[in-house]
Chains A and B, each alone.
Chain A
Amino acid sequence: METVRKIAIPLSAIVIFFIFWEWLVWVNQWPNYKMASPSDLWPAFWKFKGLFLSYGWDTLWRTVAGLLIAIIVGTGFGMVMGLSRFMREALYPLLVGFNAIPKATLVPVIALMFVGADDMNTVMMAFLISFFPIAVSVSIGLSTLEPEYRDILKSLGASRFTIFVKIALPKTLPEFFGALKVAVTLAFIGTNLVEIIEPHGKGLGFLFDSGKISADYPLMFAVLIALAFLGILLYYIVVMLEKIFAGWAERAET
């Protein structure tokens, strides 16, 4: 019953959203080039189903690769900043400054730096845009560890490494997964920035660009829906991992 509820509620919300969208377009008599309606999307999906699959895969694997690098680098930065006040004070302004740069402006910079290395450039952008929240939350999680937690193990003669593995690391997991949920969607934005601004014949962003050039508006909207679908897919994979590794942080509903 509980599982049925958990699936039925979000699913009906999505259905209601599509019905409302269809109605909105119908009642305003909007032409396709103003806003395509959901019923126009299916033909677009069907017509380009091969491209959707192969481009969708391009987008997905490059996003995931960028995200994995963001997890490794972000956790690394977070650990360094969380465990050392010196490094925190040194690195924070640099990271904030870097994060404030609109990533769209970096696309041509990177494209010129590594001409032709399209996969690498795309993965790199997904990484650059998504590692910041992970670094910040891991560093906050580690630096706000109550001293008593450390004292409990320290007073028994435990090494810093043991304290890190047994206490700091697991205690930071809820913050880490919270950041990862934000990072997932950011990584998609990074991937698509490259695919749209520097099209190189790969990815859903390129398909979107093609739709724009050939004035195929239903195709453009279909790409957006496909991206949303991939985003939801990855997000729920993260939620699942969170349940497995940090399920303890979830309080029973009262």
Chain B
Amino acid sequence: MKEENQIEINNVTHAYQTDDGPLPVLKNLNISVPINSFVAVVGPSGCGKSTLTRLIAGLMMPDEGEVRLHGEVITSPKSSVGMAFQNPVLLEWRSILKNVLLPLEIVSNNLSQKQKVDRAMSLLSLVGLEGFEDKRPSELSGGMRQRASLCRALVHRPEVLILDEPFGALDAFTREDLWQIMHELRKEEAFTTLMITHDLRESVFLADQVVVMSGRPANSQFVLDVTLGNERTLEDLYTEKSVKMLAKLRHEIQIAQGRSTKTEENA
């Protein structure tokens, strides 16, 4: 069973040291992400979702428990991970193409310069940025920058893609464009995704499973299996099935926020 999970969070407990003593953020958290699937994590603000991404990326070690990637316990950052954040953090002094090439300068590979550029260019054209490769990030719109940031996260063919609210700062329609691009990317490339988001519609439209985290200290309170097919259109979000899933998630979030105590799944 274990081999089929690309990401495994096993009984992870983590606290931050503050001046007022330890502040527990995660408590006995368990999440499994099957290989090549897409899991969205939603939850109230400050419930340790970003901590989770840093743990998976190997940027932090948990106080207790373990994080496994491909069955291997994480003790340091792994180049088999790609990351994108709400802030696209593109390097302003580099062209879009050179930004996308950045991971290939770090991760050891035996690609020639031409192969690297070809790889980056194919991703850029996949997300509709062909013809913008020589522009500077400041010349692009927010949505285009975020697309470039996705290309950079995927250029070195990572097994795991970690997204920390990648579309949070975009307007609603641009966000929907990016959702569709995300589906395009998944069709073309094989990677396992864990995405943090605050947008329930986004989680349902993109993910195979949605994990609702409880309030701090957080564990996984509820897991929703998204029962939409692989071919999804925006219209699918407005069907009865989707609306029911969204309502269920909304309810669970309310419980997590401590505004409702009624719960069916967890006691």
Contacts and interface: CB of A to CB of B under 8 A. Distances in A.
Interface in B113-165: 136, 138-139, 152, 156
A155 B81 contact: yes
Interface in B77-124: 77-79, 81, 83, 85, 87, 89, 91-93, 102-103, 105-107
B247 interface: no
Given A148-B85, A251-B138, A155 B93 contact: no
A155 B89 contact: no
A249 interface: yes
Given A166-B105, A248-B136, A251-B138, A152 B83 contact: yes
A2 interface: no
Contacts of A246: 93
Contacts of B85: 148, 151
A156 interface: yes
A102 to B, nearest CB: 39
A34 to B, nearest CB: 52
A248 B93 contact: yes
B89 A149 contact: yes
Counting chain B residues whose Cβ lies within 8 A of the other chain, the interface size class is 20 to 34
B168 to A, nearest CB: 13
A156 B107 contact: yes
A58 to B, nearest CB: 38
Contact of B77 (A154, A166, A251): A154
A135 B152 CA distance: 33
Contacts of A166: 91, 102, 105
A148 B79 contact: no
A167 interface: yes
A157 B93 contact: no
B91 A153 contact: no
A32 to B, nearest CB: 53
B138 A157 contact: no
A177 to B, nearest CB: 13
A151 B54 contact: yes
Contacts of B174: none
A152 B89 CA distance: 8
A170 interface: yes
Contacts of A173: 93
B83 to A, nearest CB: 5
B92 A248 contact: yes
A152 B149 CA distance: 10
Contact of B106 (A157, A171, A251): A157
A156 B103 contact: yes
Given A157-B79, A248-B93, A148 B58 contact: no
Contacts of B83: 151-152, 155
B59 interface: yes
Given A148-B85, A170-B93, A251-B138, A157 B57 contact: no
B263 interface: no
B59 A154 contact: yes
B76 interface: yes
Contacts of B91: 149, 166-167, 170-171
A157 B78 contact: yes
B34 to A, nearest CB: 22
Given A156-B77, A248-B92, 13 more contacts: A148-B89, A149-B91, A151-B57, A151-B83, A151-B85, A152-B152, A153-B106, A157-B76, A157-B77, A158-B106, A166-B105, A171-B91, A171-B93
Question: Shortest 4 CB-CB distances between A and B: which pairs?
Answer: A155-B57, A248-B93, A156-B106, A148-B89
Interface of B: 54, 57-59, 76-79, 81, 83, 85, 87, 89, 91-93, 102-103, 105-107, 136, 138-139, 152, 156
23 contacts: A146-B87, A148-B85, A148-B87, A148-B89, A151-B83, A152-B83, A153-B102, A153-B106, A154-B59, A154-B77, A155-B77, A155-B83, A156-B156, A157-B106, A157-B107, A158-B106, A162-B106, A166-B91, A167-B91, A170-B93, A248-B93, A249-B92, A249-B93
